[in-house]
């Protein structure tokens, strides 16, 4: 019997959270009755912005162009998250003086390793470096791959000037080193500039590379950009297919979900070791891996992407198996497991990653878990708390042993209840999973009640919560919005809603294939546009 407090939702609550998907008629029928999507709507797109390379992109491009085995400094200027994505943070940050310093020293560290590596030098400079034209042609070629477009003559001249003046004072390889360093320090490398109202072939190649691979376009794409063939729809479709089969696509997918689900927080997470003695950085890395592999599995098998919330398939290592109290699939590394009906957990919400991130260092947090579901999975807005509020909760007592009882204080004060009901009544559904994701029936001697309410749908436990989120009207549109923002560099605004709705139509028609969503965006006309200021 649900024991939660059920308040009558007054009109004033509508100011508390906004559902962005109030107008689309969602189609939850199965494929036999699915309606084919309409034609792509023509929309206005936001005006373009420079997009700074993220640390991951910096690494990926260097590796693509210069090969493996280079020690790439990791202490570059940190990425920032904006509207839930670092891809969006990249559109608003500049570089701090220290950040530029670090890119400067990174460029020398990387180029020094290159010029001191005879194998790499032979590959990059497959000619006689004592001859000027050899050096020039090779640097021009490398520059094109790093800058994602051909260098202009004046730029080549500047680089060759550096080469000449330095090699004169030192030697050829040092000259090459400094010229390459100039390429790496250039804003043409560090920022993405896809600026034309209709993307040029090179800009399209760039946008595709970053969207599907989180890296620069490769030589094949650059060739098709040079000839202009990439702008042909049929060739573009072939390339998108090729790119999605390329191993780099996995890197792209993993990056998107790492950003969206804030999995990078697991890299620096700390829990109180006294409260959680199973906690360790290794566990958090395993947790990150579990979530990414589960997502990759669903996408690879082209399953209904909503299954991510309820799937009984997961991937665990020894550490996670211990946390979940299941037999380890292998002594080392990860193995696929099936969580049968006797298991209390299934799906993303009940994976260690989500349970750890959306919690406190000494406990769970129904509020944080509720916020995650509302904001990240359903794209609903929750306003900030009022100023000067005391956020301390009462201690557990014998009358109020579990978090549910202690949170009553959120519901007693109307100015708190208005928003906290939206968050807490959802997050409490996961209370059987403690702050590092272990199952528990009781807390402080009291029985845990995991029932709750999500937008009019009651649920009895975490499984039902997962089903409710999966079937929520917003899930598809929210996912589409995130992928759109990741691809295009701006959030969906009023002007782009029609396109987002069209994406949802396509998503449903494809039986919720994530790959299909990516393909729809990559091949759309909208993808090839920018707004004009």
Partner 1 sequence: MMFHKKNNFDAPISRRRFLRGIMQGSLVALQLPMLELFMDRQALAQDGGFPKRFAMFYWGNGMRPDQWVPTGEGRGNDWTLSETLSPLSSLKEKISVVSGMSVKVPNTSPHWSGGLGYLTGQELIGDDDSWTAAVPTMDQIIAQSIGNSTVYKSLISGCVSDASVSWNGPNARNPIENDPTLLYEKLFGPTFREPGSEGIVDPSLAFRRSVLDSVMQDIAELDAQLGTNDRIRLEQHLDGVREIELRLARLQEDPPSLEACLRPNAPDGNYEDINSRPQFAAKNAVMSQMLAMALACDQTRVLSYTFTLPLNNLLYDFTDMGHHSLTHNEPGDQPLVQEVTKFTMTQANVFLEALNSIPEGSGTLLDNCAVILSSEVSEARTHSLDEYPLILAGSAGGSLQQNLHYRSHSQENANKFTLSIMRALGMNQVSYGANDSATSDGLSAIEV
Please report, as ranges, the residues that interact with partner 1 according to CB under 8 A: 47-50, 75, 77-78, 80-84, 89, 92-102, 104, 108, 154-155, 158-159, 161-162, 164-166, 168-170, 174, 178, 181-182, 185-188, 193, 195, 268, 270, 272-274, 360-362, 375, 384-392, 533
Q: What is the DSSP string of 374-390?
A: IIIIT----PPPPTT--
Q: How far is the CB of 143 from partner 1 (least distance, A)?
A: 11
Q: What are the CB-based long-range contacts (under 8 Å, 24+) for 34-40?
A: 34/508, 34/509, 34/511, 35/505, 35/509, 36/509, 37/502, 37/505, 37/506, 37/509, 38/502, 38/505, 40/499, 40/502, 40/524, 40/525, 40/526
Kindly state the smallest distance separating residue 247's Cβ from partner 1, in Å: 32
Sign of CA dihedral 442, 422, 262, 386: negative
Nearer to partner 1, 78 or 327 (CB): 78
Q: CB–CB of 146/182 below 8 Å? A: no
Distance CA 527, CA 524 (A): 5
> Which DSSP helix (H) or strand (E) runs through 336?
strand 335-338
Question: What single DSSP character describes residue 54?
Answer: P
> Nearer to partner 1 by C-beta: 181 or 355?
181
CB of 467: closest distance to partner 1 in angstroms? Answer: 27
The least CB distance from residue 276 to partner 1, in Å, is: 11
Which residue's CB is nearer to partner 1, number 327 or number 385?
A: 385
Diameter of the chain measured on Cα atoms = 85
Closest approach of Cβ 429 to partner 1, in Å?
Answer: 22
Closer to partner 1 at the Cβ: 147 or 210? 147
| E strand or H helix at 299 | helix 281-300
* Residue 184 near residue 148 (C-beta atoms within 8 A): no
CB of 497 to partner 1, least distance (A): 21
- Dihedral angle, C-alpha 288, 293, 296, 300, nearest 10 °: 180
Three-state DSSP string of 401-465: CCHHHHCHHHHHCHHHHHHHHHHHHHHHHHCCECCCCCECCEECCEECCCCEEECCEEECCHHHH
In the complex, least distance from residue 362 CB atom to partner 1, rounded to whole angstroms: 5
Of the pair 51, 346, the CB lying nearest partner 1 is at: 51
Q: Give yes or no for a contact between 229 and 235, defined as CB atoms under 8 angstroms apart.
A: yes
Give the residues across from 51 on adjacent strands: 192
- Min dist CB 1 to partner 1, Å, is 32
Shorter beta-carbon distance to partner 1: residue 48 or 452? 48
Torsion angles phi and psi, residue 76, rounded to 5: -75, 170
At residue 480, φ and ψ (nearest 5 deg) are: -60, -40
Tally of CB atoms within 10 A around 492:
23
Q: At its nearest, how many Å lie between partner 1 and the CB of residue 203?
A: 12
Q: Of the two residues 77 and 431, which places its CB atom closer to partner 1 in the complex?
A: 77
Cβ 177 to partner 1 shortest distance, Å: 9
Whose Cβ is closer to partner 1: residue 130's or residue 268's? 268
Backbone angles phi, psi at 315, to 5 degrees: -130, 115
- As a whole number of Å, the CA-based R_g of the chain is 26
Q: In the Cβ-directed half-sphere of 470, how many Cα atoms lie within 13 Å? A: 20
CB-wise, 162 or 261, nearer to partner 1? 162
Nearer to partner 1, 97 or 247 (CB): 97
DSSP per-residue codes, 250-268:
HHHHHHHHHHHTTGGGGGS
Give 99 or 401: the residue with its C-beta nearer to partner 1: 99
The number of beta carbons lying within 10 Å of the beta carbon of residue 67 is: 14
Number of Cα atoms under 13 Å in the Cβ half of residue 344: 16
Q: How far is the CB of 371 from partner 1 (least distance, A)?
A: 8
C-alpha 527/C-alpha 204 separation (Å) is 8
Distance CA 81, CA 432 (A): 30
Minimum distance between the CB of residue 233 and partner 1, rounded to whole angstroms? 28
Comparing CB distances to partner 1, the nearer of 82 and 439 is 82
């Amino acid at each position: 019997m649900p024991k939660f407090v059920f308040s009558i939702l007054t009109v004033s609550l509508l100011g508390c959270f906004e559902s962005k998907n109030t107008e689309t008629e969602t189609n939850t029928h199965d494929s036999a009755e699915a309606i084919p999507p309409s034609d792509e709507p023509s929309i206005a797109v936001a005006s373009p912005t420079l997009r700074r390379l993220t640390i991951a992109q910096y690494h990926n491009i260097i590796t693509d162009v210069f090969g493996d085995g280079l020690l790439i400094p990791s202490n570059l200027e940190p990425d920032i998250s904006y509207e839930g994505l670092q891809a969006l943070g990249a559109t608003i940050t500049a570089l701090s003086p220290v950040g530029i310093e670090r890119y400067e020293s990174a460029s020398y560290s990387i180029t020094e390793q290159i010029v001191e590596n005879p194998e790499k030098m032979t590959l990059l400079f497959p000619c006689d470096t004592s001859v000027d034209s050899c050096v020039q042609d090779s640097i021009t070629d490398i520059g094109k791959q790093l800058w994602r477009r051909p260098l202009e003559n004046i730029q080549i001249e500047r680089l060759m000037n550096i080469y000449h003046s330095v090699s004169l004072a030192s030697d050829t390889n040092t000259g090459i080193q400094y010229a390459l360093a100039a390429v790496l320090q250039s804003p043409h490398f560090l920022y993405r500039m896809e600026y034309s109202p209709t993307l040029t072939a090179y800009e399209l190649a760039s946008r595709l590379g970053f969207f599907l691979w989180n890296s620069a376009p490769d030589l094949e794409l650059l060739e098709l950009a040079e000839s202009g063939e990439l702008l042909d729809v049929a060739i573009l479709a072939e390339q998108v297919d090729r790119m999605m089969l390329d191993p780099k696509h996995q890197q792209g997918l993993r990056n998107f979900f790492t950003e969206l689900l804030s999995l990078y927080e697991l890299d620096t997470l700390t829990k109180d070791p006294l409260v959680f003695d199973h906690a360790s950085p290794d566990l958090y890395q395993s947790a990150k891996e579990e979530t990414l592999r589960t997502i990759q599995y669903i996408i690879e098998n082209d399953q209904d992407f909503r299954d991510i919330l309820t799937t009984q398939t997961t991937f665990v290592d020894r550490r996670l198996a211990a946390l979940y109290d299941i037999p380890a699939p292998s002594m080392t590394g990860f193995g696929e497991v099936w969580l049968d009906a006797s298991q209390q957990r299934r799906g993303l919400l009940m994976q260690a990653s989500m349970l750890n991130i959306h919690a406190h260092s000494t406990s769970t947090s129904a509020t944080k878990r509720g916020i995650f579901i509302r904001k990240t999975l359903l794209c609903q807005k929750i306003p900030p708390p009022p100023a000067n509020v005391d956020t301390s909760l009462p201690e557990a007592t014998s009358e109020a042993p579990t978090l549910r009882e202690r949170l009553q204080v959120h519901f007693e004060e109307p100015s708190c209840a208005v928003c906290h009901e939206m968050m807490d009544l959802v997050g409490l559904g996961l209370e059987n999973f403690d702050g590092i994701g272990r199952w528990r029936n009781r807390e402080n001697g009291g029985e845990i009640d995991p029932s709750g309410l999500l937008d009019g749908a009651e649920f009895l436990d975490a499984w039902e919560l997962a089903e409710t989120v999966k079937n929520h009207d917003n899930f598809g549109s929210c996912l589409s919005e995130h992928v759109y923002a990741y691809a295009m560099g701006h959030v969906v605004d009023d002007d782009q809603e029609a396109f987002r709705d069209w994406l949802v139509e396509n998503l449903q028609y494809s039986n919720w294939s994530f790959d299909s969503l990516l393909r729809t965006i990559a091949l759309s006309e909208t993808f090839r546009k920018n707004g004009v200021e």
